[in-house]
Amino acid sequence: MIFPKDGEAQRAPLISPERKKELQLFEKHAGTRFRRQDLLNLAFSHRSYANESRSDVANNEKLEFLGDSVLGLVVAEYLYQLLPEEEEGRLAKIKSFVVSEDSLADIARYLKIDNFILIGKGEEYSGGRSKKAILADALEAVIGALFLDSGFKSAKKFILKYFVPEINKVLENKHRKDYKTLLQEYLQKHHKVYPRYQLVKKTGPDHAKVFWMEVQVLEENFGPGKGRNKKEAEQKAAELAYRHFHPDT
């Protein structure tokens, strides 16, 4: 499949000789090859970079949208064939862990995607290269770009190479757990209530804020958990509460 050289691909960031070497280094490390390096470069173009560019440069969001769908299909098909006796709910839960932001960010770090992302100065200053959302989105964009460049078969091969180990972690219960979901499911099943999260405090300068969150469960507060954003801090607080009810986890 060859993406027509117009539209967003035409607006991909220009590739200098130095940038070409960087993209080739990524291809070598990732074990894949692009016919069109402009597509790969576009996959690394974060919105902040495009917004700050003096020329008309596109960002990677549409490739991310496409890559998310391709990834979901490949993982769903693999699980369907691997676990023919499992119910739909169980397959959906496994898939949700495998394609989670945490899982995607971990794979992106392994592929050193943080070294290749094009981001704006403001995002760079605030630690954008290490943000899970940016890393996860870039990996999905790479998958979308590979699908357009070389077709479904190549994209599937790439996905299975890096995501089958994540699937195995989930099946062996060695994956990173979504404690907010686990806590909510436990409370709904056994107590018919929902956890309530509240911000305790924020510390640090604007570009490096630390959030402290507590969770109230059955009139008892757990935490605080801390993180670089509210979502991360909530996860830490939820983990403390969940482990209180499940001390063996």
Kindly tell me the sign of the dihedral angle through the C-alpha atoms of 89, 95, 98, 104.
negative
Last residue of a domain, one of 171, 199, 224: 171
Query: Has 140 been annotated as catalytic?
Result: yes
Is 206 annotated as contributing to ligand binding?
no
- Which tokens hold the place of 214? 């507590």
The residue from 8, 38, 106, 140 that is catalytic is 140
Give the domain range for residue 237.
179-245
The CATH number given to whatever domain includes residue 62 is 1.10.1520.10
Task: Give CA–CA dist 210/232, Å, rounded.
Answer: 10
Residue 56 annotated as part of some ligand binding site? no
CATH at 234: 3.30.160.20
Whether 77 has a binding-site annotation, put simply, is no
Q: Same structural domain for residues 34 and 128?
A: yes
Catalytic residue, chosen from 8, 38, 68, 106, is 68
Which whole-number Å values give the CA distances from 192 to 68, 90, 186, 216, 243, in the listed order?
34, 22, 9, 14, 19
Q: Say if residue 167 is in the same domain as residue 240.
A: no
Among residues 171, 201, 218, the one where a domain terminates is 171
Cα–Cα distance measured from residue 116 to residue 89, given in angstroms and rounded to the nearest whole number:
37
Are residues 91 and 132 both part of a single domain?
A: yes
- The verdict on residue 1 lying in a domain is no
If asked whether residues 163 and 232 sit together in one domain, one would say: no
Strands 220-227 and 210-217: antiparallel
Would you state the structure tokens that stand for residue 17, as one six-digit string? 């000789």
Structure tokens that stand for 86 in this block: 């499992």
The sheet carrying 210-217 orders its strands as: 196-203, 210-217, 220-227
Residue labelled with tokens 């704006």: 120
236: tokens are: 């830490």
DSSP 12-67: SPP--HHHHHHHHHHHHHHT---S-HHHHHHHTB-HHHHHH-SS----SHHHHHHH
Q: Which of 171, 191, 216 lies at the terminal end of a domain, its last residue?
A: 171
93 and 193 inside one domain = no
The answer to whether 30 and 111 have CB atoms below 8 angstroms apart is yes
pLDDT tens, the chain, 249 aa long: 444 455 666 788 889 999 999 999 999 999 999 999 999 999 999 999 999 988 888 999 999 999 999 999 999 999 999 999 999 988 988 898 899 888 999 999 999 999 999 999 989 988 889 998 999 999 999 999 999 999 999 999 999 999 999 999 888 876 667 788 889 888 988 899 999 999 999 999 888 889 999 999 998 999 999 998 998 999 999 999 998 988 765
